[in-house]
Structure 1
Amino acid sequence: MSQFRWIIMSSFLMLLFHFTAGKYSTSTVRAGDEVTLSCEHVIDDQDKCDSTSWTFGGLRGTVMLLERGEISKEAEDKSDRLSVTEKCSLVIKKVTEDDAGSYTCRQNRSGEQKAVHLSVVTITEQKNDDTVTLNCSVLGYYSGCRHSVKWLYEGYKTDVKTTQHSCSATATFTTSHLNQKSKYNELLKCEVTEEYSREVKLFPFIPPQSSGEKPGENMMI
C-alpha cells in the first residue's frame, strides 16, 4: 500500500516540477534540526501573511499547512513545530522523516508560487563489541533516489570499510583502530549530494545526547 501511495505521490510531484519549472528549490536537512523554507514574490501590503498559503505533498498525501496567515486545522498534529516569519517563510522545528516532501508557497492575489523540495537525512549507530557501524540515509521528496551518499573520513583508510547503496551509505570500523584522543564522530562525515542542484552537505555523526547541535555544512560543486 505504501509503495502504491509513493507512486501516486511521485506522479503528483513530477507534475509539480513541470508546472513550477524555474520556481523551485531544494533543501536537505538532518532529522531533528530546524529548517526555514523561503517563499518568493511575497506581497508587501498583506497583514501577517494573510495572502499567503503553504501546502505540503508527501507520503500521506497533500495537506494545507498555512491559510490566510494561520496554521490550518489539517496541520494541527505538527502545529507546535510550524511557524511563519515576517517574509512568510515557513519554519519547521525538529524535522522528522515524515516532513520529507514538496512544499508550495502561493501568493493568493497574484497567483505566484514556488515549490521547495525537502529531503531528510538520518544517521544511526550500531555497536557490536568494539565494532561500530554508522548508516547515513536520505529520504527524498518523492520515490526514487535523487541523492548520492558516501562517508568521508580523515585517516585510517585501511581500517574503515564503507559501502554505498541507493540513497544510503554505511561505514564500519573497530574503535581500537582509532586514535584514543579522537572521537569517530569527529573523523567521519556523511556527504550528501542533491542530483539537480548539485548542492553538497556534510553531516557528522552526532551522539544521541547532543543530537541537533550541529547542522550540515554547505558546499557547492
Structure 2
Amino acid sequence: MADKCHLCLLGLIFLSSLLTDTSGEDDVHVFISSGEDVRLPCNNALPDCKSTTWIYNSRHSAAVELIGLGIKKNDTERHERLSLGSDCSLNIKNITKEDYGLYSCRQYVNGQKQGDDTRVYLHVIRVSSSSSQTEISPGSSVTLSCQLYSSYGVSCDDWIRFQRIDLFWVNQTGVKRTISDSRYQESAPRRCIITLTTTLLNEDDNREWRCNVTHGDQVKTSATYTVKSSGKKTNSSISF
C-alpha cells in the first residue's frame, strides 16, 4: 500500500510540473477567439528569417512543418491563412478551433539546429448556439456553449484547473453573471465548457452574450454571440 501511495504522489508531482510553466522561459501562451487573426512570436529568430522553421503539433495529429527555412509550405491545410512576419513571427488569419495546439519556432544554420525552440501554445475560445435556425423569435429558448480548445500535453480540463484558468459569462456591463440572474441557467459539464440557457425577449434582438477567459485576475480574451431576430440572420461576432 505504501508503494502505491508513493507512486501516486510521484504522479501528482509530475503532473503539477507539467502543467506549470517550468518547461522553459521561452514558452508563450496565446489566447484567441475563433474568427480572429493572431500573431505567434518567435523569440529566438535570426536575421532575415531564412533560418526560421515553424512546426505545428496537436494531441490528435503528427507534427506538421508550416514554414521551412523562411518559406511557406504549400501542402498544408492552413496554407492560405499563413504568413511570416518581418520579425519571423507566424501570422494566422481567421482562427478556427482546429488551430489550437503547440507551435514551435526553430532555427537552422547549415542544416544544424541552433539553440532552443520558442514554443507557443495557442488556446482558442469559441461560442456556438444550440439553434440552427436563421431566425430566433422572442419566447424561444436558446442555449449558448462557450468552449476553450487547449492542449498542453494533458487534457484541457486538467490544464486550466492547475493554471487557474476560468471561463464565465458576463452581463452587458461586463460583470460576471450570478445566480440572481433568474433569466439564465448556467451549467459546466466540463471545466473547458460552460453553457448559458435563456428564453429570448423582444429586447434581446441584437444583444450580445459574452464569455470571458481569465488567467488569475487578467482577462485573456473573450467571445460574443449575437442573436438576431425580426427576419435577420443569426450570427456570431468575436471581440476582445
TM superposition score category, shorter chain reference: 0.7 to 0.9
- Contact residue 142 and residue 197 of structure 2 kept, 8 A: yes
* Distance in structure 2 (CA, Å) of the matches to 1:149 and 1:209: 23
- Contact residue 166 and residue 213 of structure 2 kept, 8 A: yes
Residue type matched to 1:153 in 2? N
Find the counterpart in structure 2 of residue 138 from structure 1: 148
From the superposition, tell whether residues 171 and 106 of structure 1 become closer, same or farther in structure 2 (CA, over 3 Å). same
1:29 CA drift (Å): 1.4
Residue type matched to 1:204 in 2? T
Query: Computing the radius of gyration over CA atoms, which structure comes out larger, 1 or 2?
Result: 2
Aligned residues: 192
Is residue 70 from structure 1 mapped to residue 71 from structure 2 by the alignment?
Answer: yes
The list of structure 1 runs, each at least 4 consecutive aligned residues, that deviate by more than 6 angstroms after superposition, is: none
Q: 2:221 aligns with which of 195, 198, 201?
A: 201
TM-score relative to the length of structure 1: 0.75
Find the counterpart in structure 1 of residue 61 from structure 2: 60
What pairs up with 1:184-199 in 2 under 5 angstroms?
Answer: 184-185=207-208, 188-194=209-215, 199=219
- Contact residue 212 and residue 219 of structure 2 kept, 8 A: no
Is residue 159 from structure 1 mapped to residue 183 from structure 2 by the alignment?
Answer: yes
* Distance in structure 2 (CA, Å) of the matches to 1:108 and 1:38: 17
For the residue of structure 2 that corresponds to 1:161, the secondary structure is strand
Residue type matched to 2:210 in 1? K
Find the counterpart in structure 2 of residue 22 from structure 1: 25
Residues 165-216 of structure 1: CA distance to partner in whole angstroms, max 9, x if unpaired?
A: 320111111112x6x276331xx31011247x9653222214687645x43x
**Coordinate RMSD, CA, aligned:** 2.9
Find the counterpart in structure 2 of residue 85 from structure 1: 85
Unpaired stretches in structure 1, ≥5 consecutive residues: 1-10
1:33 CA drift (Å): 1.7
